[in-house]
């Protein structure tokens, strides 16, 4: 456990160091005249814009709106994706029934359905949540399905020979074995769901980080636009790292104390 903790600290330190180097090079490029701040802004100006938005309360409002929409959309995507993935992976009939819908959602340009969602849910949070859900759910379901189907059948037969029931097989054999695939699907779903939130807010919202990006972009306010973009990136990184920590905890459950 201490080894994994040390590895996480080393990874975090390396990431912060590389981010610092990039930010410093960016700032020096603007100072030297290599980069035009009108198109790229600069890290110090973006930081000042973030502080100003925080003091006025605009940043808190936008973060609260986008984070709420993301958590609801991704939470539903994770719940539905895992449940349907498990059922489809465990029962062949369910897989045959759900397979066309899964690959339709995976391959269709779902953002093109945005006007339909506006008609159904109206402009606002529910349309954003619907887009985030539909973008985030397919990778979760597909990876969960694949993980369940890859469970070692010799383990299943061995458990059955000792009198294990379906519930025991699911909880103690199938579910632990497919943890890595489920977590991989959740990580993919995070990025897609967050992308759905931003895109939907760009089209029709009155608040949120995506709305702020579109609003400042139309006014050619590069610094303010980059500030909102930086917050979105930070939310995505935080969500992904949170899932990575959750995966480490479940990995110990999967492999056992030995």
Residues 73 and 191 in one domain: yes
Domain count within the chain: 2
pTM for this predicted structure: 0.81
CA atoms of 61 and 53, how far apart (whole Å): 10
Same domain for 234 and 106 = yes
Q: How far apart are the first and last CA of the chain?
A: 12
Task: List, for residues 33-67, the tens digit of each pLDDT value.
Answer: 888 888 888 888 889 989 988 899 889 999 999 99
The answer to the question of residue 3 being in a domain is: yes
State percent of the chain over pLDDT 90: 15
Exposure string over 47-77, b if 16+ CB within 10 A, otherwise e: eebbeebeeeeebeebbebbbebbebbbebb
The pLDDT confidence band at residue 27, using thresholds 50, 70 and 90, is confident
Residue 41: inside a domain = no
Per-residue model confidence as pLDDT tens digits over 224-244: 999 999 999 888 888 888 887
From residue 113, alpha-carbon distances to 108, 150, 189, 207 in Å are 9, 34, 19, 21
Q: Are residues 91 and 212 in the same domain?
A: yes
Domain of 188? 48-255
Please, what is the average pLDDT of the chain? 81
Instruction: Give the residue, 255 or 49, on which the prediction is more confident.
Output: 49
Q: Specify whether 182 is located in the same domain as 68.
A: yes
Q: What is the CATH number of the domain that holds 72?
A: 1.10.3720.10
| Rounded distance between C-alpha atoms, residue 132 and residue 75, angstroms | 10
Digit-coded pLDDT (tens) for 176-214: 777 788 888 898 899 899 998 998 888 877 788 988 998
Q: Do 24 and 83 sit in the same domain of this protein? A: no
Q: Which residues are within 8 A (CB) of 128 and not within 5 positions of it... i.e. 6 or more apart?
A: 69, 73, 196, 197, 200, 201, 205, 208
CA distance 154 to 254: 17
Question: Taking 90 as the threshold, does the pLDDT of residue 248 lie above it?
Answer: no
Domain assignment present for residue 42? The answer is no
* Residue 168 pLDDT > 50: yes
Question: Per-residue pLDDT tens for 65-88?
Answer: 999 999 999 999 999 999 898 888
Cα dihedral sign, 7-8-9-12: positive
Q: Do residues 88 and 18 both lie within one domain?
A: no
Judge if 92 and 219 occupy the same domain. Answer: yes
Q: Which tokens hold the place of 39? A: 């198109």
């Amino acid at each position: 456990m201490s080894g994994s903790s040390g590895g996480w600290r080393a990874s975090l330190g390396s990431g912060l160091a590389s981010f610092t180097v990039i930010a410093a090079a960016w700032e020096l490029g603007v100072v030297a005249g290599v980069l035009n701040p009108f198109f790229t802004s600069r890290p110090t100006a973006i930081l000042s814009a973030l502080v100003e938005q925080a003091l006025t309360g605009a940043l808190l409002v936008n973060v609260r709106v986008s984070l709420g929409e993301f958590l609801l959309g991704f939470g539903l995507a994770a719940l539905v994706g895992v449940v349907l993935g498990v059922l489809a992976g465990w029962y062949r009939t369910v897989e045959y029934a759900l397979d066309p819908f899964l690959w339709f959602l995976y391959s269709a340009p779902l953002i093109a359905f945005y006007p339909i969602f506006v008609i159904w849910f109206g402009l606002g949070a529910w349309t954003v949540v619907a887009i985030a859900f539909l973008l985030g759910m397919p990778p979760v379901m597909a990876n969960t399905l694949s993980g369940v189907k890859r469970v070692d059948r010799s383990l299943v037969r061995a458990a059955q020979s000792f009198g294990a029931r379906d519930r025991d097989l699911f909880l103690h054999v199938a579910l632990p074995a497919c943890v890595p695939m489920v977590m991989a699907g959740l990580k993919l779903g995070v990025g897609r769901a967050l992308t759905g939130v931003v895109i939907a807010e760009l089209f029709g919202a009155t608040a949120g980080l995506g709305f702020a990006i579109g609003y400042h972009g139309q006014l050619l306010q590069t610094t303010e636009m980059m500030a909102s973009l930086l917050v979105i990136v930070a939310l995505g990184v935080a969500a992904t790292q949170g899932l990575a920590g959750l995966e480490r905890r479940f990995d110990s459950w999967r492999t056992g104390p030995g």
